[in-house]
Amino acid sequence: MMDRDRRLAALVSQLSEETQAIRVGLDRTPEREHSEPIFTTSSFVFPDAATMADAFVNNSGLSIYARVDNPTVDGFCKRLAILEGAEACEATASGMGAILSTLMAHCQAGDRVLMSTGVFGATLNLVKNFFIKYGLEIELLSPTDLGAWERALSRPAKLAYCETPSNPTIEIVDIQALSNLCRAHGCLFVVDNCFMTPVLQKPLALGADLVMHSATKYLDGQGRVLGGAVLGRAELVEPVTSFIRSGGVTMSAFNAWVFLKGLETLDIRMKAHSDNALELALPLVTLYQDHSPGFFSCVVSDALPLFLATVRDRMGMYVEAFFPCFVYYWHKRSRYK
Ligand SMILES: Cc1ncc(COP(=O)(O)O)c(C=O)c1O
């Protein structure tokens, strides 16, 4: 570790999140590179057999084989973990790879899984067409009906899964309330945070046990590569890591490097997305309100309080800007139903 990295490690917790997103991750190599290197190598060499044995047998921390670990991928994991406020992070080849690995690691035949109906189509396909074949019991529940989750949790359930806001239905789950319910019933609570990113919402701080990402979306933000991530307490991420290493759903070093660059601009991009959404949605709100008086107040009373309670306070500016996206969605939904 170079002096600069040692100083940085000591300072990390005092840096703003915007700065952490640029500075945290890989330690600089003796080549003194400015940007993180891409370690495009399938495996790693050792100076002698004893060092190699130490790495294989005692997990000394030296990289062994790129399906198991890679410094560029580790750098992406460290940076995202800091932003999500997670103890541990593991990266996958795609967002679906993260979801598959989490369910494989934490569930077994006979387990009951509660899943929001408002989740990405491939997630539903995965559980309905595949996990069911291997003996998981899946119960689908409305993301906004807390009473239904409470009733469902009165029978033992291994894992509860939701996405908020959902893709593409933009339904919002009260993360804090659902995590309280899950904790009271000893059920793992998993949240797909793909749409909000840690800039706008931190599910772990609201009580979730694990967070999923399709890094393919905003974390990259420029439509270049596929990737995913699982974050949470080390004891919950470790079994997922173990599945990824054996199952081979590993993120490539090149993709990890692209995501490292994506994270550097995440904060400023989310603000720009929000500002653009506001500009686009406000005229639509006005237009729709003219045609359907009462629409706006109905949306405000139904959706805004929950959204405000869920999204972290610091981002009031974003909250205001995202809200019109929901109005825009409801406008379209009622129009084209
Ligand atoms: C909310 C959400 N979760 C998971 C996924 C799956 O991610 P990937 O396409 O990276 O496998 C997507 C993809 O659109 C998504 O929108």
How many Å lie between the centroid of ligand 1 and the Cα of residue 298?
Answer: 30
What is residue 176's three-state secondary structure?
Answer: helix
Percent share of the chain, pLDDT over 90: 66
Could you tell me if residue 7 is inside a domain?
no
pLDDT digits (tens, 9 = 90+) for 190-204: 999 998 999 989 999
Atom of ligand 1 nearest to the CA of 97: 11
Average pLDDT over residues 257-268: 96
pLDDT score at 337: 41
Q: What is the CATH number of the domain that holds 126?
A: 3.40.640.10
pLDDT band, very low/low/confident/very high, at 335 (cuts 50, 70, 90): very low
pLDDT score at 277: 77
pLDDT digits (tens, 9 = 90+) for 23-74: 888 888 888 898 999 999 999 999 999 999 999 999 898 999 999 999 999 9
170 vs 230, which has greater pLDDT?
Answer: 230
- Average confidence score pLDDT of the chain: 87
Q: How many domains does the chain have?
A: 2
Average pLDDT over residues 5-17: 76
Per-residue pLDDT at 333 exceeds 60: no
Residue of minimum CA distance from atom 13 in ligand 1: 214
Per-residue pLDDT at 236 exceeds 90: yes
pLDDT score at 314: 42
The range of the structural domain enclosing residue 98 comes to 71-264
Residue 236 and residue 270 in contact, taking contact as beta carbons nearer than 8 Å: no
Instruction: Answer yes or no: do 202 and 304 share one domain.
Output: no
Atom of ligand 1 nearest to the CA of 99: 4
Instruction: Answer yes or no: do 86 and 145 share one domain.
Output: yes
pLDDT band, very low/low/confident/very high, at 318 (cuts 50, 70, 90): very low
Ligand 1 binding pocket includes 124 (Cβ within 6 Å):
no
pLDDT digits (tens, 9 = 90+) for 56-66: 999 898 999 99
pLDDT score at 114: 98
Instruction: Answer yes or no: do 85 and 151 share one domain.
Output: yes
Give 47's contacts (C-beta < 8 A, 6+ positions apart).
none
Instruction: Answer yes or no: do 139 and 280 share one domain.
Output: no
Give 10's contacts (C-beta < 8 A, 6+ positions apart).
none
How many Å lie between the centroid of ligand 1 and the Cα of residue 259?
Answer: 15
How many Å lie between the centroid of ligand 1 and the Cα of residue 122?
Answer: 8
Instruction: Answer yes or no: do 289 and 317 share one domain.
Output: yes
Instruction: Answer yes or no: do 326 and 216 share one domain.
Output: no
d(CA 186, CA 178) in angstroms, rounded, equals 12
Ligand 1 binding pocket includes 193 (Cβ within 6 Å):
no
Q: What is the DSSP secondary-structure string of 58-69? A: H--S---BTTT-
325 vs 282, which has greater pLDDT?
Answer: 282
Instruction: Answer yes or no: do 245 and 103 share one domain.
Output: yes
Residue of minimum CA distance from atom 2 in ligand 1: 120
Instruction: Answer yes or no: do 179 and 253 share one domain.
Output: yes
Instruction: Answer yes or no: do 325 and 255 share one domain.
Output: no
Among residues 264, 284, 310, the one where a domain terminates is 264
Per-residue pLDDT at 85 exceeds 70: yes
Instruction: Answer yes or no: do 158 and 77 share one domain.
Output: yes
Per-residue pLDDT at 106 exceeds 70: yes
Average pLDDT over residues 92-102: 98
Could you tell me if residue 277 is inside a domain?
yes
Could you tell me if residue 25 is inside a domain?
no
Could you tell me if residue 278 is inside a domain?
yes
- Residue 199 buriedness (CB in 10 A; 0-12 / 13-18 / 19+): buried
Q: Cis ω on the peptide bond leading into residue 203 (within 30° of 0)?
A: no
Among residues 206, 230, 264, the one where a domain terminates is 264
Among residues 238, 264, 290, the one where a domain terminates is 264
How many Å lie between the centroid of ligand 1 and the Cα of residue 231?
Answer: 16
Instruction: Answer yes or no: do 175 and 98 share one domain.
Output: yes
Could you tell me if residue 146 is inside a domain?
yes
Could you tell me if residue 20 is inside a domain?
no
Instruction: Answer yes or no: do 244 and 320 share one domain.
Output: no
Could you tell me if residue 169 is inside a domain?
yes
Per-residue pLDDT at 313 exceeds 60: no
Could you tell me if residue 88 is inside a domain?
yes
